[in-house]
Structure 1
Amino acid sequence: MTTLLHLDASARRRSISREVGEAFARSWRAAHPGGAYVHRDLTADPVPLIGEAWTELCDHVLEHGITETDRLKEAVRTEAQAAAWAIVEPLLTELVNADVVLIATPMYNYSIPASLKAWIDQVTFPKMSLKGRRFVIATARGGSYAPGAPKAPYDHQERYLRDFFEGHFAVTDTVFVNAELANARLDPAMAHLRAAHEESYAAALSAARRLAEEY
């Protein structure tokens, strides 16, 4: 049975990244009626920041060369570490059980929301591989960070996530669906870019639905 893990990271209940992510999720469920669907809202149900006990788990995993995710619990030796593992385990289980991971996230301050970074920190251990899983990242950005745009060098959202998932998790199938120029909806100085935003938004919705049918 194929499983989709869907993460939302926007602080807004109604947001462009959520809408693009939902377009993928809805189409994926229609194309996989027998599939499993797991949704986690990282804003409504925030993941705690890692603490010292988590770092101790990480140190033990590194020191003992543990790379299999089903062996990570072997690192638990103290009550504090058990409490840290109790946070990690359900998040990690959702991740390793997924065939497709959908992350719907806005760009905040050229990068990703703290809520998403907290989730990444909790589920990441040394030399951990998620090879074979597919990652789809649906984003919304206030300006344009497309290749060739003046602000493209400031894109620390796609660059970070792609580098991390492919570099650390060894993921070989990472696809981004970006809706650009979202601030044109609100900023009078960007009013002349509203049509370009609407075009980018519509293209993102269409791409998300098409990808879902392929995945």
Structure 2
Amino acid sequence: MPNLLHLDSSARTASFSRDLGARFARRWREAYPNGGYTHRDLTREPIPPIGEAWTQICDTMLAEQITDPGRYREAVRTPAQRRAWAVVQPLLDELLAADVVLIGVPMYNFSVPASLKAWIDQVTFPRMNLAGKRFVVAGARGGSYVEGAPRAPYDHQERYLRDFIVGHFAVQDVRFVHAELTNARLDPGLAHLRDRHAASVTAALARIEAVADELAAEVEAVS
């Protein structure tokens, strides 16, 4: 049965990215009640930043051309590196076991939260290839960053994740679903956009369920 890895990175307990991710996970688990499911809350259980020992492991991988994830452990040599690897190992195991990776991520300061960036840094190694896996990004943004919007050029959330997932991991199937204009609920200056925000949330909730159904059917067809 397929495995789903579900990451949350919002600092808020009640958040649109969490709601979207939960909606996808619920739909997916209805399709695969006996499938594997791992949920990791990167805010409640923060991942530490990488340190020098982690970089030394990567240097060894490069120098010795270790590209098979099954051999990554061979690059761990010193006590400091073993301590660094003890952080990496469970995160990497979860990622490698997943058929689908679901990332709930708000936009913070035009980009992604530090909690998610720390996870990305820990699990990413030189020439790492995750081709064949599918990624779903359930996002939320305070403003509007759709194509043609004034702030679209400042979107370093989707652009960063898309470039990274496709460019480094060689993943060809990555799907983004965003709830936009979330600040319109609170900011009087955006009050005139509250209807657009509500419509965006409604559309995103429907879309995330559709994506879950689409992926469940696609995975079933190839399993």
| Bin for the TM-score computed over the shorter chain | over 0.9
The root-mean-square deviation of aligned C-alpha atoms, in Å, is 0.5
Aligned residue pairs, count = 215
Task: Specify the alignment match of 1:163 in structure 2.
Answer: 163
Letter paired with 2:90 = P
Task: Specify the alignment match of 1:137 in structure 2.
Answer: 137
Task: Specify the alignment match of 2:4 in structure 1.
Answer: 4
Task: Specify the alignment match of 1:197 in structure 2.
Answer: 197
Matched, 1:44 2:51: no
Task: Specify the alignment match of 2:185 in structure 1.
Answer: 185
Q: CA deviation at 1:34?
A: 1.9
Q: CA deviation at 1:134?
A: 0.3
Q: CA deviation at 1:135?
A: 0.2
Find the aligned partners of 2:139 and 2:81 in 1 and give their Cα distance.
34
Could you give the per-residue CA deviations for residues 115-139 of structure 1, whole angstroms, max 9, x where no partner exists?
A: 0000000000000000000000000
Task: Specify the alignment match of 2:154 in structure 1.
Answer: 154
Correspondences of 1:11-30 after superposition (within 5 Å): 11-30=11-30
Correspondences of 1:41-190 after superposition (within 5 Å): 41-190=41-190
Letter paired with 2:135 = F
Task: Specify the alignment match of 1:206 in structure 2.
Answer: 206
Give the match's secondary structure for 2:120.
helix
Could you give the per-residue CA deviations for residues 42-88 of structure 1, whole angstroms, max 9, x where no partner exists?
A: 00000000000000001001111111111100011100000000000
Q: CA deviation at 1:172?
A: 0.2
Q: CA deviation at 1:31?
A: 1.1
Find the aligned partners of 1:31 and 1:206 in 2 and give their Cα distance.
16
Find the aligned partners of 2:169 and 2:104 in 1 and give their Cα distance.
19
TM-score w.r.t. length of structure 1: 0.99
Give the match's secondary structure for 1:127.
coil
